[in-house]
Amino acid sequence: MPRREHTAEHWTEPSYGAAGGPQPTEDIPPAAAPPRRRRWRRIALFSLLILLVLGGSGMVAGGLYLRSVESGIERVDAFDGVPEESRPQAAVDGAMNIMILGSDSRDPEKTSGSRTDTIILAHLPKDRKSAQLISIPRDTWVSVPKSADGNNGGRDAKVNAAYAWGGVPLMVQTVEKFTGVRVDHVTLIDFAGFKEIIDALGGVDIDSEKSFTSIHEPFRTFKKGVQRMDGEAALDYSRQRKQFADGDFARIRHQQQVIRAIIDKASSGGILTNPGKLNSFLKATSNSVSVDKELSLFDMATQMRGVRGGNMTFVTSPTKGTGRIGSESVVLADNARAKTFYDAVRRDSVGEIVSLGKK
């Protein structure tokens, strides 16, 4: 049957699924579901920070909303069983690192539910004037500590195997061991929530690096240059990787573009002064956030009132590209560069983080 093609500007149909990766992760050995496993909640990537931006830019109205939202947020045992003696210590009082774990419940390429497709370490400097978002490719080959039940881990594997083997606590241990950076808080998100968030904002503007056609139905055509995308189109755009030579790294770039577009639109679109828009936006997010037991949205909103998309830096953890280890296609970490880079994160040296992240 011939494929129908639709432009990103006009097509609106039900959402289909999540961001893809350079290679599927079917080669992660099967494991029993982590104990007390919690279902992924529907939320667009980093909508937590969007709420913080909104709260910061209008503390009276935003603060009241955040107070009411916070009371209904699901809490997770992110650090349950993580041995304190093995954890990195914070080098700078006041700086904060939030690990954001993302999945996509409607990914047409998804073959297993107990995985995290996106791993971001968000560094919030002590002065709270900026934020650095560090994407760790899901297939990065790392050392995974032993799981709490002793049945998995204790060996090298793809970083997202940690979630399949030991849930959020093992992901915390794995990322801390890989980066040497202490994880202060954790947020769980689902890319399938992109649609509702972006539609509540009235769409976002995305600058596509080239013209290409989606590999997923309804096979939208994305044109090179800036174009307005509704929720479904932006979600579809964020999943594309196979049309690009660098595969999953292109998917990471697309996710970062959409995140920045959402934050820019949320902070400049007059949401706080438009009750209808604000209610639609919060309806799409307020029941969808899962965070660790200690994270306070209201306190962070107060601290981050100056953060906007323009002073957020998006970088990718240093790598040597892709390769093969045994039968697995993996992303090879550049350990020497990564050590220097994450040392800058640990020391809260924003200038070095930005500079090293661009190399």
For the chain, how many structural domains are there in total? Answer: 1
pLDDT on residue 269: 60
Would you say residue 236 lies in a domain? yes
SS (H, E, C) 152-170: CCCEEEECCHHHHHHHHHH
For the four alpha carbons of 279, 282, 288 and 292, in that order, the dihedral sign comes to negative
Would you say residue 201 lies in a domain? yes
Per-residue pLDDT 10s for the chain (359 aa) are: 434 344 443 322 222 233 333 444 444 444 444 433 333 233 333 444 444 444 444 444 555 555 666 666 678 899 999 999 999 999 999 999 999 888 766 666 654 555 678 899 999 999 988 999 999 999 999 999 999 999 999 999 999 999 999 999 999 999 999 999 999 999 887 766 677 778 888 899 999 999 999 999 999 999 999 999 999 999 999 989 999 999 889 999 998 898 888 878 876 766 655 666 666 666 555 545 678 888 876 676 666 766 666 788 999 999 999 999 999 999 999 999 999 999 999 999 999 999 998 86
pLDDT on residue 247: 87
Would you say residue 169 lies in a domain? yes
Structure tokens at 82: 């993580």
Range of the domain at 302: 6-357
Would you say residue 1 lies in a domain? no
Q: Give the domain CATH number at 349.
A: 3.40.630.190
Q: Give the DSSP H or E segment for 229.
A: strand 225-229
pLDDT on residue 63: 56
Would you say residue 180 lies in a domain? yes
Would you say residue 60 lies in a domain? yes
Please give the DSSP secondary-structure letter assigned to residue 112: -
Residues in a beta bridge with 330 = 323
CB atoms within 10 A of CB 346: 20
Q: Report the alpha-carbon distance of residue 251 to residue 235 in Å, rounded.
A: 11
Which candidate, 297, 319, 304, 84, places its Cα nearest to that of 182?
84
Would you say residue 276 lies in a domain? yes
